[in-house]
Amino acid sequence: MKITATGIIIVFLLAFTAHTAYLIWNPDLPIPPDTIRHYDSIAGNMLAGKGYINIDGDTDCAVGPGYPLFLYSIYSVFGRDFIVVRFIQGIMHALSALCAVFLAWFTFKRWDRAFLAGSIVAVYPTLIYASNLMLSETLFQFLFCVFVLLLIAAIQRENSFLFLSSGFVLALATYTRSTSILFPLAVGLYILISKRLNKKIIFNYLLFCFTFFMLMSPWTLRNYLVTGKFIPTGIKGGFNFALGSSLEYLKPEVDARPLLSQDIKKCSDDGIIKREGKSEVAFDKYLWRLGWYNYKAAWLQNPTDVFRLLLYKAVRFWYATTSGLHQRLIFFIQIPFLFVAILGFIAAIRRKQCPNEIWLGALVIVYFWGLFTLMFPLARYSLPTIPFLAVFVSAFIRK
């Protein structure tokens, strides 16, 4: 059964209508603190000709340039209009739903499954909510899905230009959110397992990596010139790693940031961890060391505490919010969906309907799930996995 233009239009309109309905229902959604401090202020300062400057008037090294440039391009045409930003993110949400259609099609070569996967993404509540937030998740999810589609096509056709294109798009995604910076290693693992190695596939993989790292290098060089340190994209990793390094920070009733600040002061005052300088880069490095200190202390006290922490974070990845609001609602959306997706994945394997592409989807899910289990888990960090989980859910449709 072939993909139909009518079906594509239905999925797109379904996603865009769902997004727009939420936009109309809640037009005054608060602007997140990260956007105020970094993304929006950087875009506004660039528009004013001041350069890549955050709200404090400092040259920003905390976030990559992807989302600030996205906002800058919108502000340049429409002015600083948040409704327009949300409207355009609605289009990206709809395009991500179409990406899910093609991901399922490339995996199973069946239109009914492709249509179901796209429809799930189109109306998935957390994706609709995220597309109305002025944060980088929707842009990142769209770019990452496009990257995976290009990668699948590149591997299937052994086409060098498609490998180059996939490296280019992955770099754009990584500029938006640095979480995908290690994914070239995952791609290498996937190719090693799924393909018989020959000179052409090795050359194409190296071309993919070369394109990715060449596109990342200008920003890395810029950060080095600004800070004198090797920073591929941004320096927020230490904060997230430290926040996720102790169960005390993750308790539902606890505001983690003041507690983390107290521990930072205590470790500094007691000389447990010395802070090397007062710069933003030095503070990020300090937070990485604090995170490792917390893990080490937990391990020395009781190794099972570390496993309990990681297990708790693995579950928390699917439902937690920064504010602590709506966590129960998100839990009852995401956990059953994850469970059904796992059952769909198992069903596809039992029916021996497990092409290589289904393993690539599993690799994407494990990559993000594992990464944020080690770092600081929030439900919005799980959003890039939703289209791939939707593909697994579609496997329930029998022939």
CB 53 within 8 A of CB 40: no
In angstroms, the CA 211 to CA 181 distance is 13
In angstroms, the CA 384 to CA 127 distance is 9
CB neighbour list of residue 296: distance below 8 Å, 6 or more residues apart: none
Q: Is the pLDDT of residue 399 over 70?
A: no
Tens digit of each residue's pLDDT (9 = 90 or more) over 11-45: 999 999 999 999 999 999 999 998 999 999 999 99
Tens digit of each residue's pLDDT (9 = 90 or more) over 183-208: 999 999 999 988 888 899 999 999 99
CB neighbour list of residue 219: distance below 8 Å, 6 or more residues apart: 64, 65, 175, 232, 233
Average pLDDT over the chain reads 93
Q: Is the pLDDT of residue 259 over 90?
A: no
CA distances from 257 to 28, 214, 261, 318 (A): 26, 36, 6, 21
- Strand, helix or coil for residue 379: helix
In angstroms, the CA 347 to CA 113 distance is 14
Query: Any idea where the domains of the chain sit in the sequence?
Result: 5-230
pLDDT at 334: 97
Q: Is the pLDDT of residue 223 over 90?
A: yes
Please compute the mean of the pLDDT values over residues 37-62 and round it to a whole number: 93
CA distances from 63 to 28, 80, 112, 165, 198 (A): 25, 20, 40, 24, 38
Half-sphere exposure at residue 131, Cβ-oriented, CA atoms within 13 angstroms? 31
CB 122 within 8 A of CB 15: yes
Q: Report the alpha-carbon angle 145-148-152, nearest 5.
A: 140
pLDDT at 396: 85
Please compute the mean of the pLDDT values over residues 294-308 and round it to a whole number: 94
pLDDT at 258: 82
CB 327 within 8 A of CB 321: yes
Task: State the pTM of this model.
Answer: 0.95
Would you tell me how many other CB atoms lie within 10 Å of the CB of residue 83?
A: 11
pLDDT at 254: 65
Confidence of residue 257 (pLDDT cuts 50, 70, 90): confident
Tens digit of each residue's pLDDT (9 = 90 or more) over 311-363: 999 999 999 998 888 899 999 999 999 999 999 999 888 877 677 889 999 99
Which one has a higher pLDDT value, 364 or 229? 364
Please compute the mean of the pLDDT values over residues 211-240 and round it to a whole number: 92
Tens digit of each residue's pLDDT (9 = 90 or more) over 81-118: 999 999 999 999 999 999 999 999 999 989 999 999 99
Which H or E element spans position 357?
helix 356-374
pLDDT at 7: 92
Half-sphere exposure at residue 282, Cβ-oriented, CA atoms within 13 angstroms? 7
- Looking at residue 53, what DSSP letter applies? B
